[in-house]
Chains A and B, each alone.
Chain A
Amino acid sequence: MPMSFLITSAAIDPSALLGGLRDTHAGACVSFEGRVRSENRGRTVRALEYEAFAPLAEKEGRRILKEAAKKFQINHAVAVHRTGRLELGGLAVWVAVVAVHRGAAFDACRYVIDETKARLPIWKKEYYADGASEWISCAVRRAKRKGSAAGKEKRGGGAERRTGARSARHKRP
């Protein structure tokens, strides 16, 4: 069964990858494209930068594909995740699953992208229109200042950031 999980700094070419997944026994091919979008948590995004600990990301990625093959009746599963800088609309992650029937293909594709986002040692920095940038999910609540209004505001802001980061993990492509 062709199963590969690749971390790459080169542009992802879905049509070339799909060419390697031809299988006349399989009636379904489901693929997912994660693309860079222009807004996150109310801020205008200009670009993203991905960084990965590639040896472990690929190892964990292959484990995810194996799990998908155990859970669902699939023939092939391939995934690719980018590193480096991506502009709006850029293809950040691509997953394709080939199966005899569509149900397993959809379920396995969903499983692979969800687990990939939750488990792989990959980090994303957002560059905003206002010139700021931030590593997603790495915000830390600032030390509180006793009794001051400024301290209270900072605490509130920190909580908001963390909540945003949590929901962002579910919503980002």
Chain B
Amino acid sequence: MVQVRYFALLREQRGLDEERVATEASTAADLYEEIRKRHGFTLPAARLRVAINAEFESWASAVRDGDAIVFLPPVAGG
């Protein structure tokens, strides 16, 4: 099980802020693809970054039980 948080467009498309997800995905990329298909997210992984346990990580990073995952839509601060 991993904890997934959603922000901005992903939060609206998912309809909630966070959820626990049971997954067999081994990498962050696999996990995003699984969730994107399930909920029809419009943003491809190529447009996003991923954070694991509040740190930027690569899409090839392993996803482990208990990880806190955030898929980061294209940023627009300022």
Contact = CB atoms under 8 A, between A and B. Distances in A.
Nearest to A113: B78
Contacts of B7: 51-53, 121, 123
Interface residues of A, number: 34
Nearest to B10: A138
B71 to A, nearest CB: 10
> What band does the interface of chain B fall in when counting residues whose beta carbon is under 8 Å from A?
20 to 34
B77 A50 contact: yes
B5 A53 contact: yes
B57 to A, nearest CB: 11
Nearest to A168: B76
Interface string A44-69: 00000011110111011000000000
A121 B78 contact: no
B54 to A, nearest CB: 4
B20 to A, nearest CB: 18
Interface in A107-130: 113, 116-125
B54 A56 contact: yes
B78 A136 contact: no
Interface string A146-173: 0000000000000000000100110011
A123 B78 contact: no
A138 B77 contact: no
A121 B51 contact: yes
Contact of B73 (A55, A56, A119, A138): A138
Interface of A: 34, 50-53, 55-57, 59-60, 81, 92-93, 113, 116-125, 135-138, 140, 165, 168-169, 172-173
Interface of B: 5, 7-9, 11-12, 42-44, 47, 49, 51, 54-56, 70, 72-78
23 contacts: A51-B11, A52-B77, A53-B7, A53-B54, A55-B54, A59-B55, A92-B78, A93-B77, A116-B78, A117-B75, A117-B77, A117-B78, A119-B75, A120-B75, A120-B77, A123-B76, A123-B77, A135-B9, A137-B75, A138-B8, A138-B74, A165-B74, A172-B78
